[in-house]
Amino acid sequence: MILLTGASGFLGKTIQKVLSNYQLVLVGRSDADVIVDLTKQVPILPVCDIVVHAAGKAHSIPGNDKESQFFFDVNVTGTANLLTGLESSGLPKAFVFISSVAVYGLKNGNQLTDDAPLVANDPYGKSKIEAEHLVLAWCEKHKVICTILRLPLIAGPNPPGNLKAMINGIKKGYYFNIAGGEARKSIVLVEDVAKIIPVAANIGGIYNLTDGYHPSFSELSQVIARQLGKSKPLNAPMWVAKLMAKAGELIGAKAPINSDKLNKIISTLTFDDSKAREAFGWNPTSVLNGFNIYE
């Protein structure tokens, strides 16, 4: 039996579909077997063999202290309440925590390994670091197998976040690559993550998961454009992008581009998943071959 939090999220919905042959117990604020707000309550849970903690707060940039605190309410307090509930219900054999490469706190780098320092100082990254520490200590104390999966950008049908923005931009004709779109980013298919969870749960450890290819913005945008029946996205030279970024600084956080966003777009940031390949046979599909933007 697998207990799943975050069942209504992008990854959670795919886990439900891919692991439909398992008995799943869903935990969430609505439409779940156990209805609970983990930010405020300790849940009453059934005994399960594996816990997959996929609930979390992401995909937004906080605009004030209250919004920043919400990352910690969901990712840290929510995790703590879940762990307390598990102590009362009966301990699982294994606990899988869905984390993020954001814990490394880096904007550029190539093939970063899972033992790189955790130096994130943004609310999302810091809250994920704190949650990881909670889970690691709890699992060690209770002799529960602990697996932490650090995920990059996740691709799949109707994705949220930056991929959703890219798809919408290409669909409406206002997306363009910058300086050839040569920067590469780690990315992984949501279905591949879901498939590997039961295997990784019984191994334990901390792992980066990627597709192993790390496509460029140009390659990814062309895949999306083909599926939308659109022409290849246009390219903006760097000097134009810098002018737009300066204008974005004046507009504020809602600007489509600013200096921070520009730096992310033109910087390569990839992660090494060789540890997962060796530990549990991680052999994912290339996102360029397997990414279907709609179901």
Start-to-end Cα distance in the chain = 28
Mean pLDDT in the chain?
A: 92
Residue 261 maps to a domain:
no
Highest mean pLDDT among 26-40, 126-140, 155-169: 126-140
> What does the pLDDT look like over 260-279, one tens digit per residue?
777 888 899 999 999 999 99
Q: Which backbone phi and psi does 209 adopt, to 5 degrees?
A: -125, 125
Residue 116 maps to a domain:
yes
pLDDT tops 90 at residue 222: yes
What pLDDT score was predicted for residue 62? 64
pLDDT tops 70 at residue 193: yes
pLDDT tops 70 at residue 75: yes
Give the mean model confidence (pLDDT) for residues 188-207.
98
Residue 230 maps to a domain:
no
What pLDDT score was predicted for residue 70? 77
Q: Which residue has the tokens 């005994």?
A: 47
Residue type, 289: N
Closest CA to 179 of 237, 251, 229: 237
Give the mean model confidence (pLDDT) for residues 93-116.
96
Residue 25 maps to a domain:
yes
What pLDDT score was predicted for residue 35? 94
What pLDDT score was predicted for residue 253? 63
231 — alpha (psi -120 to 50), left (phi > 0) or beta? beta
Report how many domains make up the chain: 1
What pLDDT score was predicted for residue 71? 82
pTM over 0.75: yes
What pLDDT score was predicted for residue 99? 98
Closest CA to 88 of 137, 42, 134, 147: 42
Other CB atoms within 10 Å distance of the CB of residue 289:
10
Residue 295 maps to a domain:
no
CA distances from 162 to 54, 141, 265 (A): 19, 38, 11
Residue 282 maps to a domain:
yes
> Which CATH number goes with the domain that contains 8?
3.40.50.720
Give percent of the chain above pLDDT 70.
96
Contacts of 218-221 with C-beta under 8 Å, sequence gap 24+, read 218/177, 218/180, 218/181, 218/182, 219/181, 219/288, 220/166, 220/187, 220/287, 220/288, 220/291, 221/166, 221/170, 221/175, 221/177, 221/181
3-state secondary structure of 77: helix
What pLDDT score was predicted for residue 268? 96
Residue 121 maps to a domain:
yes
> Greater confidence, 30 or 132?
132
> What does the pLDDT look like over 274-293, one tens digit per residue?
999 999 999 999 999 999 99
What pLDDT score was predicted for residue 142? 97
Alpha carbon distance 113, 226 (integer Å): 33
Residue 208 maps to a domain:
yes
- Is residue 66 very low, low, confident or very high in pLDDT (cuts 50, 70, 90)? confident
What pLDDT score was predicted for residue 258? 76
pLDDT tops 70 at residue 117: yes
- Name the residue range of residue 137's domain: 2-161+186-216+270-290
Cβ atoms of residues 151 and 159 within 8 Å: no
What pLDDT score was predicted for residue 190? 98
